[in-house]
Amino acid sequence: MDKKVLVAGGAGYIGSHTCMKLSESGYTPIVFDNLTNGHEEFVRWGLLERGDIRDPQRLAEVIAAHKPLAILHFAALIEVGDSVTNPLAFYENNVIGSLNLLQAAIKGGVNHVVFSSTCATYGLPETETLDETHSQKPINPYGRTKWIVEQAIRDYSDLLGLRAVMLRYFNAAGADFEGRIGEWHQPETHAIPIAIEAALGRRRDFKIFGTDYPTRDGTCVRDYIHVLDLADAHVRAVDYLLAGGKTEAINLGTGVGTTVKELLDTIRTVSGRAFPVEESARRPGDSTLLVADNKKAAALLGWAPRYGIEDIVRSAWNWHTKHNASH
How many CB atoms neighbour CB 24 within 10 A? Answer: 12
Extended strands (E) in 101-162? 112-118
- pLDDT digit string (tens) for 23-47? 999 999 999 999 988 889 889 998 9
CB 4 within 8 A of CB 66: yes
Phi and psi (nearest 5°) for 159?
-95, -30
Helix axes 309-322, 260-271, angle to 10 degrees: 50
CB 177 within 8 A of CB 127: no
Instruction: Give residue 286's pLDDT.
Output: 80
Instruction: Give residue 158's pLDDT.
Output: 95
**169 tagged catalytic:** no
Is the four-CA dihedral 294, 299, 300, 304 of positive or negative sign? positive
Active-site residue, selected from the candidate residues 13, 27, 142, 213: 142
Instruction: Give residue 326's pLDDT.
Output: 45
| pLDDT at residue 323 tops 80 | no
Same fold, 4-173+225-252 and 191-222+255-326: no
Q: For a pLDDT cut of 70, what percent of the chain falls above it? A: 98
Q: Which CATH superfamily is domain 4-173+225-252 in?
A: NAD(P)-binding Rossmann-like Domain (3.40.50.720)
Mean pLDDT of the chain: 93
Comparing C-alpha atoms, which of 295, 164, 147 is closest to residue 237? 164
Instruction: Give the pLDDT band of residue 324 (cuts 50, 70, 90).
Output: low
Q: Comparing 44-53, 263-272, 277-286, which segment has the lowest mean pLDDT?
A: 277-286
| pLDDT at residue 327 tops 50 | no
Average pLDDT, integer, range 112-137: 95
Residue ranges of the domains in the chain?
4-173+225-252, 191-222+255-326
CATH topology of domain 191-222+255-326: UDP-galactose 4-epimerase; domain 1 (3.90.25)
Distance CA 58, CA 245 (A): 29
CB 287 within 8 A of CB 209: no
DSSP state of 281: P
- pLDDT digit string (tens) for 86-121? 899 999 999 999 999 999 999 999 999 999 999 999
